[in-house]
Structure 1
């Protein structure tokens, strides 16, 4: 057998082996507050495994409705722990796959430097027209914002100033575009590597609202997709955990 033929056969064998280790896509529903970390995680995940994350970002409550109506999501990264637990009870998840991937932090933020003080007293002074929050009925960060206002005794005083975003991304956009002077956002939207990256902010003490435990779960549509399990495993890795903490989450 000629040396050229042997080389061709070796090349064909290597190609066949590579084809046998097939990378897959995984369809992921991701809470809007986790957009920036998830984009970074998806990049690292693809480099490490070859699998590709196809992500949709939005409000947890809306994702719940979509999953109930047969949306093709295989993994769900929620902004709370109650929605994945509810799906689990309804038999729409892979048993034993649910876990807390992050604990969120709420922040009061303005795009204007110096506008928000480090104790949140700007809320009590009330010298603003609009306060942005996410819809508390569908977005856990919006619910946490209402709990903070209630705990501070400001619910009635601020009711006429509220501007509701469909999700935490829209709540952030209202502030970043100047349509609201300030708003309650996810710390991860304005924070990286240990500091607030723009404007001014009050990092809300966790004692002022219920813990924002964010759970992930493999949905029943992802039970036979190796990429779905691989993503969940990667989210638990030290590499992903360190990245998540860089964006201001506890773990």
Structure 2
């Protein structure tokens, strides 16, 4: 009888240990900059496989996501496309101090979905032979701001501005370009890699624009959420960094 009770207790304990991870599994809502869409979709199942937690992703321009966070949106983690908005959330008390870090360094490219659209991007822009070029809104989209810096570096902003089609986010900018509604567009290298179709590409020299340091931060609403904490840690992992770099981002 004692042996039976001992076996029973052992089976009960083992069952509790097996169930425990499921009970403790949590979910986090993550605000993600639009340029990181394809990467995030690949990271989410890897995150669940690695930690047992789940993440639901909301994509948008960094500026709009920042505004939503300020208005009380229930996000636990913020993956911005720049360092400024991540810093602002921390400085204003919307994020946990000391959790901000660079998870990716973005690359800006000039791309057309049509093969042979141009021989060299800079010469093409100077020729002004195009009808329309897509750009992210420089006020809300960090990649749009970087694109404006490129045109200003080339002393072409005033000349090209009348032909610019502005996307609310870099995702919309890429959509304009991929569908051929514009001749070419300033988009993220990661988007072109995610598209995996041929076109015409100019990888813009990084000295033409300020480094696009994309920073993540644990938001105050995720302070006590184990899934939010785990997601921030997961972004620093070797597995996550490998996926991020495969899309053309720099990782520190």
Give the TM-score range, shorter chain.
Answer: over 0.9
**For residues 234 and 223 of structure 2, what CA distance do their matches in structure 1 show?**
16
Q: CA separation in 2, counterparts of 1:56 and 1:151?
A: 33
5+ residue gaps, structure 2, are: none
Alignment of 1:1-251 (within 5 A): 1=1, 12-21=12-21, 22-191=24-193, 197-251=197-251
Q: Which has the higher helix share?
A: 2
Q: Which ranges of structure 1 fall in alignment gaps of 5 or more residues?
A: none
Q: Report the CA distance between 1:116 and its aligned residue.
A: 3.4
Equivalent residues of 2:136, 2:173 under 8 A apart: yes
Counterpart-to-counterpart distance in 2, 1:44 and 1:243: 10
CA distance in 1: counterparts of 2:41 and 2:81, whole angstroms: 16
8 A Cα contact 2:170 2:187, kept in partner: yes
Once residues 6 and 56 of structure 2 are traced to their aligned partners in structure 1, the CA distance between those partners, rounded to angstroms, is 40
Moved more, 116-125 or 201-210: 116-125
Kindly tell me: are residues 183 and 14 of structure 1, through their superposed partners in 2, closer, same or farther at Cα, counting changes over 3 Å? same
1:17 deviates by 2.3
Task: Spell out, residue by residue over 1:111-159, the C-alpha distance to the aligned partner (whole angstroms, 9 max, x if none).
Answer: 0011133443211111111100111110000000011011101111111
User: 1:3 & 1:170 partners in 2: Cα distance?
Assistant: 67
Two-structure CA RMSD over aligned residues (Å): 2.0
Does the 8 Å contact 1:108/1:120 carry over to 2?
Answer: no
Higher mean displacement: 9-18 or 64-73: 9-18
Would the aligned equivalents of 1:111 and 1:199 in 2 still touch at CA under 8 Å?
yes
Task: Describe the shift of the 1:137–1:3 C-alpha distance in structure 2 as closer, same or farther (beyond 3 A).
Answer: same
For residues 202 and 245 of structure 1, what CA distance do their matches in structure 2 show?
19
